[in-house]
Amino acid sequence: DQQVKQNSPSLSVQEGRISILNCDYTNSMFDYFLWYKKYPAEGPTFLISISSIKDKNEDGRFTVFLNKSAKHLSLHIVPSQPGDSAVYFCAASVGYGGSQGNLIFGKGTKLSVKP
């Protein structure tokens, strides 16, 4: 039962170009979404989040877009840098902060940014 789906296991992008990572979800109760980045042998590192009351959140080179009607979110990285090469996980939860339920993770997308 995949409540959070990342259908692209891998993505390769040229340095300086835009990276777009996609995520779909099935549970309409989810109202908080996060992106995590993970290097080998390290824990997931929080990147950016968005609550369901917004459709866009931006932090430097990272922007997350949420389309609630399509149950779809995407992470845009502009410009992409070789150091961005990692596995990116989409995660979702019901609730936020003190009332947050557990995070449901997607399977991840491995991003490779080529110099």
Binding residues vs another protein (CB under 8 A): 32, 34, 36, 41-46, 49, 51, 89, 91, 93, 95-98, 100-108
> For the purposes of burial, counting CB atoms within 10 Å of the CB of 66, is it exposed (0-12), middle (13-18) or buried (19 or more)?
buried
Looking at the Cβ atoms of 65 and 105, the one nearer to another protein is: 105
Q: How far is the CB of 98 from another protein (least distance, A)?
A: 5
DSSP H or E run through 14: strand 10-14
Indicate the residue among 15 and 49 with the shorter CB distance to another protein: 49
Separation between Cα atoms, residue 3 and residue 71, nearest integer Å:
11
**In whole angstroms, how close is the CB of 19 to another protein at the nearest point?**
21
Could you identify the residue written with the tokens 């040229």? Answer: 14
Q: Rounded to the nearest whole angstrom, what is the least distance from the CB of residue 81 to another protein in the complex?
A: 21
**Closest CB 18 distance from another protein, rounded Å:** 24
Per-residue CA distances from 49 to 11, 31, 34, 57, 63 (Å): 21, 11, 4, 7, 9
**Which lies closer to another protein via its Cβ, residue 65 or residue 96?**
96
